[in-house]
């Protein structure tokens, strides 16, 4: 027998009771062949290509949901970094490119489109600078467009001029959507070692090293992992690790099945499967609750980083055994507003910004969906970014910052973003300034181990 009755019931329970789902299918599309000297002509080519290549993405996702009974939460598109595509047109404001992406994604019915992006880890080209300057207006004028900027890398070091500028851009983006608690910043990520094949927003883009198009899949399942751990109370860490790994294997195999089938129907190559435990605000879909199931009284207490390290590692080990094309981030996300357990930990005082930073040294990404006081200086935001970039650079891993300085609100107030973005208490920041450090500019050199080749 291929599957036992117990295994079939276990899989059904994952979907019905423990919120297992395909978090996103993301179609990557190269726009390099759309670039031209005229901005209007370039945008026309972008529109035509996306309608042609991605025209059946939403329908394909719905058909697979119905046929396989597997929920697919988001259908998304990732495009070539617009800083590369728009550079040759000579326009100073790239907001019209963001509006084109937003309009096309609305026509197609996709949830988000990523790629309003720039790669500036070693410096700014003129196109990069124009894109970064356009981010606040572009995100204020759109609903689905996501922006990202890679400011650091293990081989390049940290571009501190870019870090300083992104502190200012985040502040301006929050002010541009002040009536909605600065929600524009929820679609803006600052990266170190940004992956070119990530299916998760807001940091998805179709990297210059990617092919013409491909389908990347993001799978999630915090509830399924927590349920598996509930079945082994008092077990040793060896048993816990093995349980997580086996569960991750099963989740990944399901994602591989869906990804390969979706790619076949769309007529594009299958790219990668990202097995990241991505939480939602719903009860029963929390990474923090997994950590607590291991024996922590509350996420953020002593032992949290060790628990998260084991969780992330076992998810990756289970995933790579189940799929030959694992990529993106793969591990565990710890967004505050999108995880009800994290929100509870912040409210109880168990978790702080400093503890979250420590946890990012072992998780999949970094400081994610954190509400900050609206009067936080741009230099302090830049310093938070610099710290996170240093963790990624030295540890040769992807790290990111997605913070929201909520206009008009102070530490302890509540910020509401809605939907999958959730809401969160505004967290305090260190009152001591970092302006003199940030204003030095230049580049923090890459670590010594970057010279390996």
Q: How many CB atoms lie within 10 A of CB 122?
A: 15
Instruction: Over range 433-439, report the average pLDDT.
Output: 95
Q: Output the pLDDT for position 331.
A: 77
pLDDT digits (tens, 9 = 90+) for 36-87: 999 999 999 999 999 999 999 999 988 988 887 788 888 999 999 999 999 9
Higher pLDDT, 413 or 278: 413
SS3 413: coil
Handedness of CA 130, 136, 145, 166 (dihedral sign): positive
* pLDDT of the residue at 13: 57
The arithmetic mean of pLDDT across residues 359-379, rounded, is 92
Secondary structure letter of residue 427 according to DSSP = P
Among 26-35, 152-161, 178-187, 328-337, name the one with the lowest average pLDDT. Answer: 328-337
DSSP for residue 431 = S
pLDDT of residue 250: 83
**Tell me, what's the pLDDT at 421?**
85
Measured between alpha carbons, how far is 240 from 363 in angstroms, rounded to an integer?
A: 18
Q: Which two tokens stand for residue 245?
A: 């790994």
Long-range contacts, stretch 428-431, CB < 8 angstroms, 24+ apart: 428/353, 428/373, 429/353, 429/372, 429/373, 429/376, 429/380, 429/384, 430/353, 430/380
- Report the range out of 232-236, 357-361, 365-369 with the highest average pLDDT: 357-361
Residue that wins the pLDDT comparison between 419 and 368:
368
Task: Reply yes or no on whether the pLDDT at 3 is more than 80.
Answer: no
Q: How far apart are CA 324 and CA 330, in angstroms?
A: 13
Averaged pLDDT for residues 378-389: 97
Q: Report the C-alpha gap between 314 and 238 in whole angstroms.
A: 11
Nearest C-alpha neighbor of 117 from the set 146, 144, 95? 146
- pLDDT tier at 177, thresholds 50, 70, 90: very high
pLDDT value at residue 9: 54
Contact 291, 299 (CB under 8 A): yes
> Above pLDDT 70, what percent of the chain?
94
Is the overall model pTM greater than 0.85, yes or no? yes
What is the maximal distance between C-alpha atoms in the chain? Answer: 68
Tokens 């260190």 belong to 430
Tens of pLDDT, residues 79-125: 999 999 999 988 999 999 999 999 999 999 999 999 999 999 999 99
Distances in whole angstroms, Cα of residue 108 to Cα of each of 231, 310, 340:
43, 40, 31
For the chain, list the domains and their CATH numbers. Answer: 26-192 (3.20.70.20), 220-441 (3.20.70.20)
pLDDT surpassing 60 at residue 2: no
pLDDT in tens, 407-417: 999 999 999 98
User: Which pLDDT band, with edges at 50, 70 and 90, does 346 fall under?
Assistant: very high
**Residue 73 tokens, joined:** 């939460």
What are the tens digits of pLDDT across the range 214-266? 999 888 778 888 888 988 888 899 999 999 998 888 888 888 888 888 899 99
Position with higher pLDDT, 169 vs 451: 169
Helices (H) and strands (E) in the chain, counts: 15, 14
């Amino acid at each position: 027998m291929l599957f036992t009755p117990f295994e079939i019931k276990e899989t059904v329970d994952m979907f019905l009771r423990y919120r297992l789902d395909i978090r996103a299918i993301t179609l990557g599309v190269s726009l390099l062949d759309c670039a031209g000297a005229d901005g209007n002509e370039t945008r026309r080519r972008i529109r035509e290509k996306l309608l042609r290549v991605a025209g059946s993405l939403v329908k394909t996702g719905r058909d697979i949901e119905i046929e396989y009974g597997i929920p697919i939460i988001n259908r998304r598109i990732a495009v070539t970094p617009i800083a590369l595509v728009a550079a040759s047109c000579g326009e100073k404001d790239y907001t019209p490119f963001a509006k084109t992406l937003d309009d096309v994604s609305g026509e197609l019915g996709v949830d988000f489109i990523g790629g309003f992006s720039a790669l500036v880890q070693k410096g700014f080209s003129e196109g990069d600078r124009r894109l970064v300057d356009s981010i606040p207006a572009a995100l204020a004028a759109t609903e689905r467009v996501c922006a990202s900027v890679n400011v650091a890398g293990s081989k390049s070091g940290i571009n501190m001029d870019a870090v300083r500028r992104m502190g200012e851009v985040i502040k301006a983006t929050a002010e541009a959507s002040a009536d909605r608690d600065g929600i524009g910043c929820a679609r803006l990520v600052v990266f170190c070692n940004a992956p070119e094949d990530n299916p998760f927003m807001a940091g998805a883009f179709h990297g210059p090293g990617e092919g013409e198009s491909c389908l990347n899949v993001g799978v999630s399942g915090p509830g399924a992992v927590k349920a598996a751990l509930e079945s082994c109370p008092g077990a040793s860490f060896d048993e816990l690790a093995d349980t997580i790994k086996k569960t991750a294997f099963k989740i990944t195999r399901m994602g591989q099945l869906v990804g390969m089938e979706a790619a076949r129907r769309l007529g594009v190559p299958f790219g990668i499967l990202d097995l990241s435990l991505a939480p939602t605000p719903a009860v029963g879909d929390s990474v923090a609750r997994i950590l607590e199931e291991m024996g922590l009284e509350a996420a953020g207490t002593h032992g949290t980083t060790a628990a998260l390290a084991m969780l992330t590692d076992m998810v990756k080990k289970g995933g790579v055994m189940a799929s030959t094309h694992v990529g993106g981030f793969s591990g565990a996300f710890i967004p505050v507003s999108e995880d009800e357990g994290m929100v509870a930990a912040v409210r109880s005082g168990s978790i702080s910004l400093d503890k979250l930073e420590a946890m990012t040294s072992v998780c999949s990404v970094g400081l994610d969906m954190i509400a900050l006081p609206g009067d936080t200086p741009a230099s302090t935001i830049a310093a938070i970014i610099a710290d996170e970039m240093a963790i990624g650079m030295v540890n040769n891993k992807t790290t990111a910052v997605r913070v929201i300085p909520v206009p008009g609100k102070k530490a302890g107030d509540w910020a509401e973003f809605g939907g999958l973005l959730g809401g969160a208490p505004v967290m305090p920041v260190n009152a001591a300034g970092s302006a003199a450090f940030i204003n030095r500019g230049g580049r923090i050199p890459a670590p010594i181990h970057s010279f390996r080749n």
